[in-house]
């Protein structure tokens, strides 16, 4: 039995390699191809996950049963088609000669962070209870039904399933389960360190388009170690928080860099924003917020309407397919379980704010949040580009407080259990903002 489970787990994880294969056409354009292979691999994996999830949702909406081979082939074909809308980028990635002590130390931190997250996941210390309550059961039910199982989601006694939650994590989990013949509970926990590794592949190269290599590596090491530590502290292995953080961090790195001024960069950023919006509810707030800050702050450098379409249309299509499925099956219209928008209990603010503070302090006296903020504040350079991730971080913080003010019974316990996880992207956004402040002069980036 153990051997069967181990084999299924290996196939489950191995099937995820189809994601970068599906997304490969979008990460091999001439200038994207100038990035190191690991960075292109991470970008391709993100693109592949978004395209695959959209297709699986559309298939379910149309009433077609999933087939692993057909889905993978269709996803690859769709990426080949979308490649036409991803022009070559004028800014190439450059790799200076020689490595400084700071750069070697940063690389070591990246490796240690990945190894620590792998140990935390493999030992079960970072495992998420939410994997048992709804991420895992939904992916398992979808794989069994070979579609998004409306009957399963509609059971009144299973209200804890968060029926209206966006589908990317459960879709990808179901896809891997189709390959393995079962949902591999232990293997699904390993998605946490795998995404830490993919983020370690992507961030140094993407930030290196903007900032000096030493700064890009050092700030990437800070971001990755922060993500790994917070993921372990707040038990996110197996749930949607690390996938969300991956899409948000990559999108933010793209939108503060030089590629964001070009069609291809905006399209890539739009796919990452679609991934965030398709992963968790707060991903939509992030998507709208960072797109708005980008469009306002860089309005004189871009064609505003076209840029807005490239950034937001992929997310609109992904969520439209999901909400159309929910409405057509009479499951949900919009997101459920968050109270009425204007039903705000302001009297609970004295409970909400101290509880958030207590939750953040539980992570090493909030050092994983305070250190990136301190680095941002002491970094020398203009604030203009940094406003994009900083403004988004503040907007997210406000959105989380706003959401908690709609809470009913057990409010303090809910916040203590969830705030550290959902505030984690704020810390990573601070490190990306620091990279934006340390941007190279224009003459060096052109």
| Three-state secondary structure of the chain | CHHHHHHHHHHHHHHCCHHHHHHHHHHCCCCHHHCCHHHHHHHHHHHHHHHHHHHHHHHHHHCCCCCHHHHHHHHHHHHHHHHHHCCCCCCCCCCCCCCCHHHHHHHHHHHHHHHHHHHHHHCCCCECHHHHHHHHHHHHHHHHHCCCCHHHHCCCCCHHHCCCCCCHHHHHHHHHHHHHCCCCHHHHHCHHHHHHHHHHHHHHHHHHCCCCHHHHHHHHHHHHHHHHHHHHHCCCECCCHHHHHHHHHHHHHHHHCHHHHCHHHHHHHHHHHHHHHCCCHHHHHHHHHHHHHHHHHCCCCCCHHHHHHHHHHHHHHHHHHHHHHHHHCCCCCCCCCCCCCCCCCHHHHHHHHHHHHHHHHCCCCCHHHHHHHHHHHHCCCCCCCCHHHHHHHHHHHHHHHHHHCCCCCCHHHHHHHHHHHHHHHHHHHHHHHHHHHCCCCHHHHC
Q: How many CB atoms lie within 10 A of CB 91?
A: 18
Q: What is the pLDDT of residue 35?
A: 84
Q: What is the pLDDT of residue 159?
A: 72
Query: 50 with 278: CB under 8 angstroms?
Result: yes
Yes or no: say if 352 and 408 are a contact pair by the CB < 8 Å rule: no
Q: Please state the separation of Cα 317 from the chain's center in Å.
A: 18
Q: What is the pLDDT of residue 161?
A: 84
Number of other CB atoms surrounding residue 22 within 10 Å: 28
- Residue stretches of the chain with pLDDT short of 50: 443-446
| The pLDDT of residue 158 | 74
What is d(CA 304, CA 298) in angstroms, rounded to the nearest whole number?
Answer: 9
Structure tokens at 27: 């990460």
- Mutual orientation of helices 168-180 and 136-145 as an angle, nearest 10°? 60
Query: Is 224:196 a contact under the CB 8 Å cutoff?
Result: yes
- Name residue, tokens 């509880």: 355
Distance CA 76, CA 82 (A): 10
pLDDT of residue 95: 60
Computed on alpha carbons and rounded to an integer, the radius of gyration of the chain in Å comes to 21
* Distance from C-alpha of 319 to C-alpha of 334, rounded to nearest angstrom: 10
Task: Judge whether 20 and 108 are in contact, CB under 8 Å.
Answer: no
Token pair listed for 144: 């069994």
| Residue 123 dihedral angles phi and psi, to the nearest 5° | -85, -10
What is the predicted pLDDT for the residue at 340? 65
What per-residue confidence (pLDDT) applies to 53? Answer: 98
pLDDT (0 to 100) of residue 344: 78
Q: Do 21 and 31 meet the contact criterion of CB atoms below 8 Å apart?
A: no
Partner residues linked to 237 by β-bridges:
127
Burial readout 286-311 (b: 16 or more C-beta within 10 A, e: otherwise): bbbbbbbbbbebbeeebeeeebbebb
Q: Single out the residue of 283, 290, 324 nearest to residue 308, CA to CA.
A: 290
> What tokens appear for 208 in the block?
């290196």
What per-residue confidence (pLDDT) applies to 160? 78
Q: What is the pLDDT of residue 445?
A: 47
pLDDT at position 307: 96
CB–CB of 112/30 below 8 Å? no
């Amino acid at each position: 039995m153990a051997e069967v489970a181990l084999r299924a787990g290996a196939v489950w994880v191995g099937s995820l390699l189809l994601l970068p294969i599906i997304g490969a056409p979008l990460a091999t354009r001439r200038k994207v191809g100038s990035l190191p292979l690991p960075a292109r691999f991470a970008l391709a994996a993100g693109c592949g996950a978004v395209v695959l999830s959209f297709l699986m949702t559309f298939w379910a909406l149309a009433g077609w049963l999933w087939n692993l081979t057909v889905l993978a082939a269709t996803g690859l074909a769709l990426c080949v088609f979308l490649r036409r809308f991803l022009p070559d980028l004028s800014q190439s990635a450059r790799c200076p000669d020689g490595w400084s002590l700071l750069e070697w130390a940063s690389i070591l931190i990246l490796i240690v962070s990945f190894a620590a997250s792998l140990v935390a996941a493999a030992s079960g210390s970072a495992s998420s209870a939410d994997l048992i309550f709804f991420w895992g059961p939904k992916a398992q039910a979808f794989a069994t039904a070979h579609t998004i199982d409306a009957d399963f989601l509609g059971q009144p006694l299973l209200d804890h399933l968060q029926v209206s939650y966006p589908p990317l994590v459960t879709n990808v989990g179901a896809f891997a389960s189709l390959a393995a013949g079962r949902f591999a509970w232990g293997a699904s926990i390993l998605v946490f360190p795998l995404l830490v590794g993919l983020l370690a592949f992507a961030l140094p190269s993407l930030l290196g388009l903007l900032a000096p290599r030493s700064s890009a590596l050092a700030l990437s090491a800070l971001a990755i170690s922060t993500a790994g530590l917070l993921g372990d502290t707040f038990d996110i292995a197996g749930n949607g928080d690390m996938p969300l953080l991956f899409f948000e961090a990559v999108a933010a790195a793209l939108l503060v860099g030089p590629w964001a001024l070009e069609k291809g960069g905006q399209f890539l950023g739009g796919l990452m924003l679609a991934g965030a919006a398709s992963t968790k509810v707060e991903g939509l707030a992030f998507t709208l917020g960072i797109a708005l800050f980008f469009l306002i702050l860089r309005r004189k450098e871009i064609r505003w309407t076209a840029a807005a379409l490239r950034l937001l249309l992929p997310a609109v299509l992904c969520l439209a397919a999901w909400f159309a499925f929910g409405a057509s099956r009479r499951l949900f219209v919009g997101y459920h379980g968050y109270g009425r928008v204007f039903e705000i209990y302001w009297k609970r603010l004295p409970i909400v704010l101290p509880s958030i503070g207590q939750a953040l302090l539980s992570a090493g006296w909030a050092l994983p949040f305070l250190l990136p903020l301190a680095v941002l504040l002491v970094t020398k350079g203009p604030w203009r580009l940094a406003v994009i991730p900083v403004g988004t971080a503040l907007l997210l913080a406000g959105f989380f407080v706003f959401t908690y003010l709609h809470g009913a019974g057990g409010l303090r316990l809910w916040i203590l259990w969830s705030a550290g996880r959902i505030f984690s992207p704020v810390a990573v956004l601070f490190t990306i903002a620091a990279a934006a402040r340390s941007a190279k002069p224009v003459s060096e980036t052109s």
